[in-house]
Amino acid sequence: MFINLSHVANVDNKNHFPSKWNELPVVGERSPNHFRADGYAKRHWCFLGEIVSATKNLLGHQVVIKDFDSREGLISVLFPLDRGAGNCFNLKNFQVGHTLAIMNAQRELLDDETWCIRVDRHQYPGVHIFPYTHDNAVAVAQALYRLGPHGGVAECFNCPAELQRSPPTRCCQGCRLAQYCSSECQDDAWAHVHDKECVAYQDVALQSLFSLDFTRFMGAFSFPQQ
Ligand SMILES: [Zn+2]
Ligand SMILES: [Zn+2]
């Protein structure tokens, strides 16, 4: 699948991608920024956090993630202990350095006065683990945005050169998204960053997340099954 770039979400929009955990709405408070009067979500938002640790206790899995604006800002994400088949949210998949995405996350105050995000089973379709760092995921999202309708003048992915339409732009044959002004730039980018990024550019889950229209809520978003 190649992304439809007619609509690309802006990862720098804090209403859609809150970058601090304390920007999340509190369970039960129905903040007017996030919810309509009838209780339905006004729009989508997605909390992205990088996994710092994952442990198991009697109640479930506790995954600690850091938000990306205040990297010291840690928050626990609690998953039920689930032995059911087909559940990817088990301990071995919560790898340190990978990125957890939680659609329409809300935070909750625990008895010990700490905050958490609790994920229930019915929310699993809107939760995803990206197998790369937060920085990688955001870099790909920003690149997709630049390619979309609001991205402005197309630039080489390796240097500030504006891309010409003729002769046609050089494009990575792996992801078909990264564009370059010359074969030198393409080789240079591959040697330094793109060999690692290219797989992320082809990630169907990332593409479907960032081609979602975050400005309205037409029902809960589900990540594609991979
Ligand atoms: Zn270039
Ligand atoms: Zn590529």
Q: What does 162-208 look like in DSSP terms, one character per residue?
A: BPPSSSPPEE-TTTS--EESSHHHHHHHIIIIIHHHHHHHT-HHHHH
Collapsing DSSP to helix, strand or coil, 95 comes out as coil
In Å, the largest CA–CA distance within the chain is 63
Confidence of residue 159 (pLDDT cuts 50, 70, 90): very high
Q: DSSP secondary structure string, 98-144?
A: -EEEEET--BEE-TTS-EEEE--GGGGGGEEEESS-HHHHHHHHHHH
**Where in the sequence of the chain do the CATH 2.40.50.140 domains occur?**
21-132
% of residues, the chain, pLDDT over 70: 92
Strands 127-130, 108-109: parallel, antiparallel or unpaired by DSSP? unpaired
Q: With beta carbons less than 8 A apart as the criterion, state whether 25 and 106 touch.
A: yes
Q: With beta carbons less than 8 A apart as the criterion, state whether 54 and 100 touch.
A: no
Collapsing DSSP to helix, strand or coil, 93 comes out as helix
- What does the block give as tokens for 170? 């050089």
pLDDT tens-digit profile of 168-214? 678 999 998 898 999 999 999 999 989 988 988 899 999 899 989 99
pLDDT tens-digit profile of 72-93? 688 999 998 876 655 678 888 8
What integer pLDDT is reported at residue 87 of this predicted model? 67
Span 144-149, mean pLDDT?
Answer: 83
Look at residue 56 and tell me whether its pLDDT is greater than 80: yes
**CB under 5 Å of ion ligand 1: residues:** 156, 158-159, 161, 181, 185
Measured from the alpha carbon of residue 178, the closest ligand is: 2
Regarding predicted confidence, which is higher, 66 or 45?
Answer: 45
- pTM for the model stands at 0.88
Distance 185 CA to ligand 1 centre (A): 5
- What does the block give as tokens for 131? 């197998």
Q: Which CATH architecture has domain 21-132?
A: Beta Barrel (2.40)
**CB under 5 Å of ion ligand 2: residues:** 172, 174-175, 178, 198
Span 114-133, mean pLDDT?
Answer: 92
